[in-house]
A and B are shown apart, each in its own frame.
Chain A
Amino acid sequence: MIELKGIYKWFNTGNNRTFILKDINLSVKEGEFISIMGPSGSGKSTLLNIIGMLDEFNEGEYNFFHEAVHTLKEKQRAAMYKQYIGFIFQAYHLIDELTVYENIETPLIYQDIKSSERKAMVADTLDRFNIVGKKDLFPSQLSGGQQQLVGIARALIAQPKLLLADEPTGNLNSKQGEEIMNLFSELNKKGVAIVQVTHSEKNAAYGSRIINLLDGRIEH
């Protein structure tokens, strides 16, 4: 599904070149659950963003379903991304101006799905995540755990093949965190590939494979 070959990312400060990622080689198969670990500043989030096509790299190859991402045009990349990838953030990043219902619905709007179909899909998702009663509330009226639930629901509504999560439980208490992780396992069993960035050994253990990053390199 994903093939990263010799990925480098850096930026230049004066005459010095600071490397964020160095020679990353990584492959993710369909249905895998990978946890990326490492200290702050080791390049975890950058790697996740590169996989999620939100960030660019300076050198190397990235194949996504046998398409060379680095050669795609912005539009094709966006189309691919829309179809296959869902994103979850530590800070939830819900749109404050929209209700729970509308937040979940928005990705479908951007995929030009018809209104009646959208309704059915959102209703389904609300049901599945047990948040039907909250659908008309705004994000500020929810607890952190509930907000993250909405965030996950939003990421999953378009049925992505790959779920990318950047410290999804970082702002939650341990009980809420555990619920989210159980949800991830469940999703993974249904065939969704997951790549998560985490600081917690416990959460990392939910994954089928752990990748340790240090100073932009994968530790073996």
Chain B
Amino acid sequence: MIKIYFKIAFRNLVKNRTYSFINVAGLGLGLATGFIMLLWVTNEYSMNRYHAHSDRIYQVNAKLKFGGEETVWENTPAPVALYARENIKDVEKVAMLKGDYGARQVVKVDTTVFIEDKIGYTENDLFNIFDFPVVKGDPNKPLAEGLSVVLTETTASKYFGKADPIGKILQFKDTTFSVSAVIKDFPANSSIQMNMLFSMDIIKIRFRGNGQWKTIDQDWGNYNYSTFCLMKKGSGTGYASAAILAALKKANPDAAVFSFLFRPLKNLYLYKADGSKGRVIMVEIFFIIAVFVLLIACINYVNLVTAKATQRVKEISIRKIIGAEKKQLFWQFFIEAGALLLLAALAALFLTELLLPVYKQVSGNAVSYDHGDWQLWKVFLSILSIVWLLTGLYPALLLSSFKPLNSLQGKGILSGAGFLRKSLVVLQFIVSIVLLLSTVFIHRQMNYIQNKDLHINTDNVLVFPAWRIYEHKEEFKNDLQRSAKVTEMAVSSLSFFEGANSTTDLDWPGKQKDDKLMITQVDVDQQFLDFFHTSINEGTDFSKTSAGSPDYILNETAVRKMGLKDPVGKVIKFHERPGTVIGIVEDFHFKSLQTEIEPALLEYEPDNCSVIYARVQQKNAKEVITIAQNIWRKYEPNLPMEYSFLDDQLAKQYDKETRASRLFDAFAMITLFISCLGLFGLAAYSAERRTKEIGIRKVLGADVSQLAALLSKEFVFLVLIAIVIAVPIVWIGMDKLLNYFAYRISLDWWVFVLTCAFAVVAAVITVSFQAIKAAVDNPVVSLRTE
């Protein structure tokens, strides 16, 4: 029976080639797009969830209050772990993890030098809390006593080839370590990514104490360690959090921390530290778009089938008269939808192969696509079955419930289906227009912040981070200036658009007891302010200051937030050091434009400046870089020189948004395309149905444009309804979204008008094609067909 249904289905598909093609193409494109997006969504949701105990693993975060402002730090002081391990019964296991972000991450194996990132320090319990399988070595204590190191498989084979790495020697920071274990590479869906892990003991031994804290186990003041707790089954985190806070307050009564937050491992990646939605917003938006893209593709199928139903009425009636039951007809049409879906699925798989590399490039999102992965097929098959239900159910129910006699005699059928079809077209265009408008506004926003005046001149500025040649940075700068004939140079402690040092250790006249201001410390040389073309609003720059003397320049925001009146000449205390405010610099952006300008304090302290800036001519930039590399090698033969253009760094800040906006472009165009494809099919049937009417009108003297207008009218009307519904949705949604940006565009009415006009034009072109085709046909021929 099923075989026969399939045979009939395929015969029908071949017979109505255009219609089948529209359906397969639309559905295939929709499926492929939805599939790729849902793959990405499942990837994102799987982050950190694969560990056997993932429900009981928490990262301890600290909530601190500076002035009125609360912040969450993802790291804790080291004693938190120790205290939790020894004193809190709810905690089963606890482990610290600390990344090594030093300047000299060089690993020596024999005489070979490897530059390594993702180096960390941890404790053995990390491997018992998480599922990071140990391949070689003691699975419970991969980090052996003494100076040992754990490598991932990739790192081990990079260092030692095929030889057994256990017991092999490597050098890191002038210390010799022996490899005690090899673990599997960290999977892509783990937030923790390391290449090699040393024992936390190294850090404990090297801890030299700082002021009040003698050992690392007593240092309740430095938030440097990521602390992971595995809670006992059934234990809440409330007690543990309170106990840790009490212990900290006892050791360090002045601490700004007011709460410890146990952040579930599952939320680590998708949510922000304070529990608000982070990356998950993007994931949810993608999920919703994926569902809509699929829905739009399904609507095409349903609309085309019901539109074409009139042609199949005769067949259905005969089948009923010769004994078909409703159930049997239902299955025939349901399987027919399935057969078409099968073709669409093949097309989708083909398109996925084609689109996935493009998608990866555009989005920068790594989507794992491994044909042997069952997870992947699970996603695909669930999409297919849902789509099958959506596309098959309604047409099959509709078509199988005809009264045979009525339809054979040509009596009214399907009047309800016409209204549904129109509503579905409206829905398609609502989605298309919402996406289209959103993408236009996102583009405008991106353009706006990328072209916004930063109040610094970033043209042709080369940046050389010089931490790796810290002792020689002055010589490097002077050599470069001399050999490459670079005239404009400056140094600073500040790497633009990245994190900068901030502190609350600031005192000023009129400061209240509870006032705490987080201020960014920017150390510069005398050239810095000139170099970036900043302007001094009041007072002077550093030209009369001698290096290291306590003259301070504040930015406007700092003055405003401190509430200083007549700031120039006032004495303030920075890190307990009194100094004079000698000038006020106009606010300039030193972080990305997603955040507002923060208070900043500048001091002339060239010794602290390890980022070198050079303004070059565009044409000889390459030459300057080559010269710089040669100079660099003199001071640091092993480590490569890092450099970048400031403009590129700026662009990189918006990388994520730029990529997202490009993806939105693609989704908007795909949905519009699929919607128009459906409209094309509907228009074709409408024209076919009205062949006789068109013929008569033509005989009576109507010209082609009048006929095209006649046929286009009903469809354009639907698009207009969609616009009326879509515009307020976008208006409200976009307004909310744009508020996430510190600097945002306004929603201009003319953008709405132009974009909607574009959608209307696309619809009109689609429909008129059919309309004109029908209208230019010879009326005698079209009348004869009736």
Interface residue ranges, A against B (CB under 8 Å): 49, 54-55, 75, 78, 81-82, 87, 93-98, 106-107, 109-111, 154-155, 158
15 contacting pairs across A/B (C-beta < 8 A): A54-B321, A54-B405, A78-B323, A78-B325, A95-B315, A97-B8, A97-B11, A97-B12, A109-B328, A110-B319, A110-B322, A110-B323, A110-B324, A110-B325, A158-B323
Known: A97-B8, A107-B323, A158-B323. A54 touches B404 (CB 8 A): yes
Structural contact, B321 and A109, CB atoms closer than 8 A: no
Q: How far is the CB of A64 from chain B (nearest CB, A)?
A: 16
Structural contact, A154 and B322, CB atoms closer than 8 A: yes
Give every chain A residue within 8 A of B11 (Cβ-Cβ): 97
Structural contact, B319 and A93, CB atoms closer than 8 A: no
Q: A49-B405, A95-B318 are in contact. List 14 more A-B contacts (CB 8 A).
A: A54-B404, A55-B405, A87-B321, A93-B318, A93-B321, A94-B318, A97-B315, A98-B8, A106-B319, A106-B324, A110-B319, A110-B322, A110-B324, A154-B322
Any A CB within 8 A of the CB of B4: yes
Can you name the residue of chain B whose Cβ is closest to the Cβ of A92? B318
Give every chain B residue within 8 A of A75 (Cβ-Cβ): 325
Q: Tell me the complex Cα distance, A93–B408, Å.
A: 9
Q: How far is the CB of A85 from chain B (nearest CB, A)?
A: 9
Contact with A along B1-20 (1 / 0, CB 8 A): 10010001001100100000
Q: How far is the CB of B646 from chain A (nearest CB, A)?
A: 69
Give every chain B residue within 8 A of A97 (Cβ-Cβ): 8, 11-12, 15, 315
Give the number of A-B contacts (CB < 8 Å): 46
Q: How far is the CB of B370 from chain A (nearest CB, A)?
A: 41
Can you name the residue of chain B whose Cβ is closest to the Cβ of A99? B11
The tally of residues in B whose CB lies under 8 Å from a CB in A reads 20
Q: Tell me the complex Cα distance, A171–B490, Å.
A: 100
Give every chain A residue within 8 A of B1 (Cβ-Cβ): 109
Q: How far is the CB of A73 from chain B (nearest CB, A)?
A: 13
Give every chain A residue within 8 A of B405 (Cβ-Cβ): 49, 54-55
Any A CB within 8 A of the CB of B141: no
Give every chain A residue within 8 A of B8 (Cβ-Cβ): 97-98
Q: Tell me the complex Cα distance, A107–B320, Å.
A: 9
Q: How far is the CB of A217 from chain B (nearest CB, A)?
A: 22
Tell me what chain B mostly uses at the interface: helix, strand, loop, or mixed: helix
Give every chain A residue within 8 A of B325 (Cβ-Cβ): 75, 78, 110
Can you name the residue of chain A whose Cβ is closest to the Cβ of B329? A110
Q: Tell me the complex Cα distance, A155–B12, Å.
A: 24
Give every chain B residue within 8 A of A107 (Cβ-Cβ): 322-323
Give every chain A residue within 8 A of B317 (Cβ-Cβ): 93
Contact with A along B381-420 (1 / 0, CB 8 A): 0000000000000000000000011001000000000000
Give every chain B residue within 8 A of A78 (Cβ-Cβ): 323, 325
Q: How far is the CB of B621 from chain A (nearest CB, A)?
A: 70
Any A CB within 8 A of the CB of B308: no
Any A CB within 8 A of the CB of B314: yes
Q: How far is the CB of A118 from chain B (nearest CB, A)?
A: 10
Can you name the residue of chain A whose Cβ is closest to the Cβ of B4? A109
Q: Tell me the complex Cα distance, A98–B405, Å.
A: 21
Give every chain A residue within 8 A of B4 (Cβ-Cβ): 109
Q: Tell me the complex Cα distance, A78–B322, Å.
A: 10
Structural contact, A87 and B322, CB atoms closer than 8 A: yes
Structural contact, B318 and A111, CB atoms closer than 8 A: no
Give every chain A residue within 8 A of B12 (Cβ-Cβ): 97
Q: How far is the CB of A106 from chain B (nearest CB, A)?
A: 6
